[in-house]
Amino acid sequence: MKSEISIVLRKDLDFTNVRYYTLKFGDEKKTELDKFYDNYQKEYSKSVDYIKMWIAQIGEKFGAQARFFRPEDNAEALPPPTKELRCLDIELDKDNLNLRLYCIVLSPEVVILVNGGIKESDATRDSPGCWEQYKFTSNISSQINRMMKLGHLTIKGKMLKRDKLFNLTYTK
């Protein structure tokens, strides 16, 4: 079924240097980021807290520089690109290390946080826990890039402006 996707501003994530947005299916109540937190906050609380802190610190102090995000084809992901997370806390178990939050970095000031999951193997396509979320993020990222090239979506500072005649869609 084809759904309309809207870009939603996260007022609670409007930091000094980055304004974060998320995505929402037209026929659903929760945003993708809320779904991510609901799914993982309880079982992977430590990983989620780290991700929240990276989001906050990058947003407040540094801005969304490419080096803080893990490149995932035409999208990005948190945590930052390294396997060194274990250095921070040896109690983190393997599953906690593999929690990914996919995002679309549009500029150093505008980032769309989408959804994520557990990456069980090296290849994302072999990880059922996050493959769907990755495919969705990647698809929306392509649509956004196209819209930006055609001028239907523009960025001004921390603001995103969309031509109302053009919508993002996704078929589940």
Partner 1 sequence: MASKAYLNALKEIPKDIQNDVIGSLDIANEIHLVLEQKNLCAADLAKMLNKSESEISKWLTGLHNFTYKTVRKISDVLGVDLLVTNSSKIAEYEEEIELLQNKIDELTNKIDSDFGYHETLNFMVSTVVLQDEDSLDNDRYLASFIPYEAENEVKIKAETDSTLSFHVIKG
User: Residues in the site for partner 1, rule: CB under 8 A?
Assistant: 11-16, 46, 49-50, 52-62, 67-68, 79-85, 87-89
Which token pair is 145? Answer: 């890039």
Residues 6+ apart with CB under 8 A from 91: 46
Residue 46 or 135: which CB sits closer to partner 1? 46
Min dist. Cβ of residue 35 to partner 1 (A): 18
Shortest Å, Cβ 51 to partner 1 = 10
Q: Look at residue 116 and give its three-state secondary structure.
A: strand
Nearer to partner 1, 85 or 147 (CB): 85
Cβ closest to partner 1, residue 88 vs residue 159: 88
Both structure tokens of 115: 């959804």
Cβ nearer to partner 1, comparing 53 with 159: 53
3-state secondary structure 31-78: CHHHHHHHHHCCCCHHHHHHHHHHHHHHHHHHCCCHHHCEEECCEEEE
Minimum CB distance to partner 1, residue 25 (Å): 25
